[in-house]
């Protein structure tokens, strides 16, 4: 650490807005890490220039945001803010844990999902129950990941297996890894997300292998004196029709929102490794890779990108071509299906299929209430329509008013051109 040196002259110039060198000094200060609007005053106090901060609000009036959010955003250093926020979190370090709570997050997309974070929150409840002899939360990750915020999610120990054996569909390899952890560490609890993205399957495999009866579909746990573990849980059974209150099992498969994610503390996330390398094993299941799926053949309910046609579509050849080029699954409004332009299984809406697409492009669909009901769960809705007052446009995230045929063909041309360029570049 160096002692900060002060230059009284520069400070004076910085304070004096009329000084000819004022701006120069300010810029220099900015390079030192302070902004033009904020600097350390002569008494060590932080100084602010209210004229340099703030932004023009929607009414043309200058607004100053004193929370600092605006300022750091203008500086473009989001990281500084998060670190600043993180700095307020309590650091927790568990040196010699009394026991381990193993969590196997699904890591969909290589990051902790909200489900994984909920599960880590649940793990913390179990680990921190006894303040005198706290347990440690051990996260086990198989395969590559992009997560960096382990500590904030509540992980004390992190065991990351990097191995090509975990690529693709590899339940056997994953189970073998968990078995190795079990042999070496014997965690008191195993927590996995009861989700189709992997945890549901892996957790059950582990339970069957260890001969444990898991608690599945767990959505809450509470301490109790009635059971040997000191915990009981409430789990969903009978396809969501029953609540089963039972003693907490050693292997817990918990559903989403089973607990609040960790928020106030930051944990060490100390890397951990097994003493022995994982054994090589001969799998009986052979992953032959993804099968190309024709977007037109995907069931509407599953499709993630739907190009949907309504009464406003006149050029059907063009519409089908656009769907092919964009790689979108085709949908349709009821009227279009009734008129025989599209098959009945393509109908979107309350009387057809309820869709969950990430992007739903409604071409010439005015948006009858039944149709809007059917697209409730779509993330982004794009409307292409002639009528700027129709209900679909009220629902849409992006609406373009104009002739559907022209816009679609322009879009197709654009996409094709881009593909062409990529091919040339490659």
Q: Interface residues for another protein in 358-397 (CB under 8 A)?
A: 358-359, 361, 379-382, 384, 388, 393-397
If the CB atoms of residues 97 and 295 are measured against another protein, the closer one turns out to be 295
| Smallest distance from another protein to CB 344, Å | 6
CB nearer another protein, residue 13 or residue 191: 191
CB-count exposure of residue 43 (10 Å: 0-12, 13-18, 19+): exposed
Q: Site for another protein (CB under 8 A): which residue of 45, 58, 340, 426?
A: 340
The nearest distance, CB 260 to another protein, in angstroms, is 7
User: Two tokens at 60?
Assistant: 């043309």
* Nearer residue to another protein within complex by CB, 6 or 63: 63
Residue 254 bridge partners (DSSP): 193, 218
Site string for another protein, 192-231 (x = CB under 8 A): ----xx--xx--xx-xxx---xx-xx-x------------
Binding range to another protein, per CB under 8 A, among 10-18, 142-150, 154-162, 414-422: 414-422
Indicate the burial class of 249 (C-beta count within 10 angstroms; 0-12, 13-18, 19 or more).
buried
Short-list 69, 186, 91, 89, CA closest to 138: 186
Site string for another protein, 2-41 (x = CB under 8 A): ----------------------------------------
Please, which residues have CB within 8 angstroms of residue 94's CB and are 6 or more apart in sequence? Answer: 127, 134, 135, 136, 156, 267, 268
Alpha-helix runs per DSSP H in 18-77 = 22-31, 69-75
**Residue 275, Cβ neighbours under 10 Å: how many?**
6
Q: Would you say 236 or 270 has its CB closer to another protein? A: 236
- Which is closer to another protein, CB of 236 or CB of 321? 236
- How many residues touch another protein under the rule CB under 8 A: the total is 97
Residue 239 binds another protein (CB under 8 A) = yes
Of 54, 80, 57, give the one whose Cα is nearest residue 67: 54
Contact pattern for another protein over residues 55 through 94, marking x by CB under 8 A: ----------xxxxx---------------x--x------
The position carrying tokens 């690529």 is: 167
Q: Kindly report the CA angle at 120 between 229 and 172, in degrees rounded to 5?
A: 85
Residues 101-160 close enough to bind another protein by CB under 8 A: none
Is residue 244 close enough to count as binding another protein by CB under 8 A? yes
* Nearest-angstrom CA–CA distance, 142 and 167: 9
Residues in 276-315 at the binding interface with another protein, rule: CB under 8 A: 284-291, 293, 298-299, 302-305, 311
Contact 230, 125 (CB under 8 A): no
């Amino acid at each position: 650490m160096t002692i900060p040196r002060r230059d009284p002259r520069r400070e004076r110039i910085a304070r004096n807005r009329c000084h000819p060198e004022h701006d120069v000094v300010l810029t220099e200060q900015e390079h030192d890490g302070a902004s033009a609007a904020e600097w350390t005053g002569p008494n060590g106090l932080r100084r602010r220039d209210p004229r340099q901060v703030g932004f023009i609000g929607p009414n043309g009036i200058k607004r100053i945001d004193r929370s600092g959010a605006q300022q750091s955003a203008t500086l473009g250093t989001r990281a500084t803010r998060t670190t600043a926020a993180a700095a307020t979190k309590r650091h927790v370090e568990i040196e010699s844990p009394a026991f381990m709570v193993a969590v196997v997050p699904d890591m969909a997309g290589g990051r902790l999902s909200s489900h994984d974070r909920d599960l880590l929150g649940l793990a913390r409840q179990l680990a921190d129950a006894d303040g005198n002899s706290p347990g440690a939360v051990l996260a086990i990750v198989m395969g590559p990941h992009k997560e960096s915020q382990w500590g904030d999610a509540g992980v004390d120990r992190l065991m990351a297996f990097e191995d090509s054996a975990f690529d693709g569909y590899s339940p056997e390899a994953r189970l073998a890894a968990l078995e190795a952890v079990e042999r070496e560490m014997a965690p008191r609890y195993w927590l996995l997300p009861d989700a189709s993205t992997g945890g549901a399957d892996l957790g059950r495999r582990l339970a069957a292998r260890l001969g444990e009866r898991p608690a599945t579909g767990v959505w809450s746990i509470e301490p109790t004196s009635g059971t040997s573990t000191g915990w009981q849980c409430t789990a969903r059974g009978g396809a969501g029709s029953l609540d089963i209150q039972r003693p907490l099992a050693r292997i817990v498969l918990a559903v989403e929102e089973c607990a609040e994610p960790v928020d106030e503390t930051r944990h060490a996330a100390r890397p951990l490794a097994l003493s022995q390398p994982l054994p090589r094993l001969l799998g009986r299941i052979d992953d032959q890779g993804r099968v190309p799926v024709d977007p037109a053949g995907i069931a509407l309910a599953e499709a993630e990108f739907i190009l949907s046609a309504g009464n406003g579509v006149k050029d059907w050849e063009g519409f089908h071509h656009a769907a092919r080029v964009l790689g979108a699954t085709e949908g349709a409004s009821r009227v279009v299906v009734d008129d025989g332009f599209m098959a009945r299984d393509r109908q979107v809406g309350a009387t057809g299929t309820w869709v969950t697409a990430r992007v739903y492009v409604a071409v010439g669909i005015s948006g009858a209430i039944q149709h809007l009901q059917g697209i409730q769960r779509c993330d982004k809705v794009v409307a292409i329509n002639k009528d700027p007052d129709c209900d679909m446009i009220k629902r849409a995230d992006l609406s373009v008013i104009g002739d559907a045929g022209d816009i679609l063909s322009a879009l197709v041309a654009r996409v094709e051109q881009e593909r062409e360029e990529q091919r040339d570049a490659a």
